[in-house]
């Protein structure tokens, strides 16, 4: 067990500005969305939505292949390469990455970072291998967590379908030590519910790692951001449902943050190519 005493807790990262990130879950050629990572519904063309979110001021874009683990490959190479034509903010791509070569293909296609989950659980040393080749800032450890008891969460794989018996907080610490430069933290319990973030989960992870953490899952009201920031220290927040269904825009979210004293980045649309 990892002690949570003050001497064992990692120093907090300095947060200069919260990143507002658009998350696009992809199945085949379609942008999809579900609840608890299940019951996936087709939203539309991921290219159209990514271009809109970029134009609206998203600081980054995350693409996740939701069925990659089932088929043992990532199907987003074409999606990413086409996105580079009209999206000029950092792009993270995840799903089905099992080797240095898999990462190489996606990075050459235009991804700035790669996210790994299932393969990292099966072989934690993959994190170190990727980090050694591409640098920690390129490697994102994706953690899909479900609450099991008070202040306890288990990491899941395969888009929240498979148990791992790994404590999510301990797994985050291990991933950071192995060379992950960032964590994409998805609360499976809250994902798609619009009921708010699992603030305790985000607080637990950010208290034990000193690398950036992106909170994902549960956003449904602007006040949920203040609830999250009040008790935890994420460096980014990923939005999906609220953007896809036009409940909120990036501009509205950014304005709320400014009014609430939450620092965000200033978005400037690039006039040049990547």
| Residues with active-site annotation | 25, 144
For 248, phi then psi, to 5°, come to -145, 155
Task: Tell me how far CA of residue 167 lies from CA of 130, 135, 152, 154, 174, in angstroms.
Answer: 23, 26, 7, 5, 10
Strand partners, 33: 41
Angle between helix axes 46-56 and 250-259 (nearest 10 degrees) is: 30
State how far the Cα of 57 lies from the Cα of 212, in Å rounded to an integer. Answer: 20
CA 258 centroid distance within chain: 22
CB 115 within 8 A of CB 92: yes
Joined together, the tokens standing for residue 19 give: 């990143």
State how far the Cα of 222 lies from the Cα of 167, in Å rounded to an integer. Answer: 30
Buried b (16+ CB within 10 A) or exposed e, 92-128: bbbbbbbeeebbebbbebbbbbbbbbbbbbeebebbb
CB 183 within 8 A of CB 211: yes
Q: SS3 of 91, please?
A: strand
CB 185 within 8 A of CB 191: no
Consecutive H or E run containing 30: strand 30-35
Joined together, the tokens standing for residue 56 give: 């609206």
């Amino acid at each position: 067990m990892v002690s949570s005493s003050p001497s064992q807790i990692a120093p907090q990262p300095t947060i200069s500005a919260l990143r507002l990130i658009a998350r696009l879950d992809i199945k085949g050629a379609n942008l999809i969305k579900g609840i608890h990572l299940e019951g996936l519904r087709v939203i539309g063309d991921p290219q159209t939505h990514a271009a809109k979110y970029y134009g609206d001021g998203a600081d980054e874009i995350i693409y996740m292949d939701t069925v990659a683990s089932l088929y043992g490959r990532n199907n987003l190479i074409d999606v990413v390469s086409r996105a580079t034509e009209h999206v000029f903010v950092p792009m993270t791509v995840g799903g089905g990455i099992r080797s240095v070569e898999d990462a190489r293909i996606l990075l050459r296609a235009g991804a700035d970072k790669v996210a790994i989950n299932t393969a990292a659980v099966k072989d934690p040393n993959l994190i170190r291998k990727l980090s050694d080749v591409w640098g920690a800032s390129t490697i994102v450890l994706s953690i899909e967590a479900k609450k099991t008891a008070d202040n306890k969460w288990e990491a899941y794989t395969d888009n929240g379908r498979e148990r791992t018996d790994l404590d999510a907080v301990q797994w985050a610490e291990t991933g950071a030590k192995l060379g992950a430069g960032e964590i994409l933290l998805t609360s499976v319990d809250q994902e798609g519910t619009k009921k708010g973030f699992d603030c305790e989960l985000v607080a637990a992870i950010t208290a034990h790692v000193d690398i950036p953490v992106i909170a994902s899952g549960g956003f449904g009201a602007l006040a949920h951001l203040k609830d999250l920031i009040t008790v935890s220290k994420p460096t980014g927040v990923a939005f999906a449902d609220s953007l896809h269904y036009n409940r909120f825009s990036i501009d509205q979210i950014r304005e709320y943050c400014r009014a609430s004293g939450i620092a965000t980045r200033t978005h400037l649309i690039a006039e040049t190519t990547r």
